[in-house]
Structure 1
Amino acid sequence: MKKTAVIYWSGTGNTEAMANAVLEGMKSAGADAALLTVDQVNTADLGNYAAIAFGCPAMGSEVLEEMEFQPMFDACKNCLGGKAVALFGSYG
């Protein structure tokens, strides 16, 4: 199976727990999967992954976390062509 990544930001630990569950699911299916927090993401490295799962809690009016996750996600958008992308999040 090709390399996959789980990239997440967590404020209280809920999204981190979900990210770990997604990672374990990928690994149990045989994937070579990596777990990255938003501060570990280098857009130049995204080409190494065939699939990426992004996780973030909903903030306020169910928008992405604006200080760390949103800027990272915006920087990644142009690197996602041809990749399988999954999104997950938590609220409350």
Structure 2
Amino acid sequence: MSKSLIVYGSTTGNTETAAEYIAEEMASKDMDVELKNVTEIKINDLEQSYDIILFGCSTWGDEEIELQDDFIPLYDSLEDAGLKDKKVGVFGCGDSDYTYFCGAVDAIEEKLEKMGAVIIGNSLKIDGDPERPAITEWAKEIVEKI
């Protein structure tokens, strides 16, 4: 059984809801899924033997890199996580009215790539409220690539 970790940072609850949809879909495919709010994670938790780690972060504001507040400490310490060659994926909610739609997703993905992590599939950028069908489809594609 594959083991996965989903770490999310959510202010309004949209990214948390998306994370829950992803976790449900992965569990339905016989995966062992841990779902954790970013406030519950220590950097060394990421070094456990997960087959994949998914990072979910909402984007706030109009800056190029505008991470959800709770996610900032994890983002700042990712280099200490030893994620080289680890399979990862990134998702998040944002608002396409901003110049940098889901900029947090792009920033996290870029940092993970620079660290040598293996990005599995395209990132998922959700405009506004999470819609289960699109999120479930993304999760299915991720599971197929593990």
TM over 0.5: yes
Percent of aligned positions that are identical: 36
Q: How many residues align structurally? A: 92
Query: Structure 1: how far apart are the matches of 2:33 and 2:87?
Result: 14
The match for 1:89 among 82, 89, 92 is 92
1:45 partner SS: helix
Alignment partner, residue 8 of structure 2? 8
TM-score, length basis structure 2: 0.57
Alignment partner, residue 60 of structure 2? 59
Q: Contact 2:58 / 2:68 at 8 angstroms: preserved in 1?
A: no
Q: In structure 2, what residue type is equivalent to 1:57?
A: S
Query: Residues 40 and 90 from structure 1, CA distance in 2 versus in 1: closer, same or farther, beyond 3 angstroms?
Result: same
Gaps of 5+ in 2: 96-146
TM-score, length basis structure 1: 0.86
Q: Contact 2:43 / 2:80 at 8 angstroms: preserved in 1?
A: no
Query: Could you say what the CA RMSD is over the residues aligned between the two structures, in angstroms?
Result: 1.7
Alignment partner, residue 29 of structure 1? 29
Cα drift, residue 50 of structure 1: 2.2
Structure with greater Cα Rg: 2
CA-to-partner distance for each residue in 1:15-74, whole Å, 9 max, x for gaps?
110000111111111111100111111222212222111111111125342532122123
Q: Contact 2:10 / 2:68 at 8 angstroms: preserved in 1?
A: no
Query: Structure 2: how far apart are the matches of 1:44 and 1:78?
Result: 8
Query: Structure 1: how far apart are the matches of 2:66 and 2:4?
Result: 22
Gaps of 5+ in 1: none
Q: In structure 1, what residue type is equivalent to 2:54?
A: A
Query: Structure 1: how far apart are the matches of 2:2 and 2:12?
Result: 31
Q: In structure 2, what residue type is equivalent to 1:81?
A: K
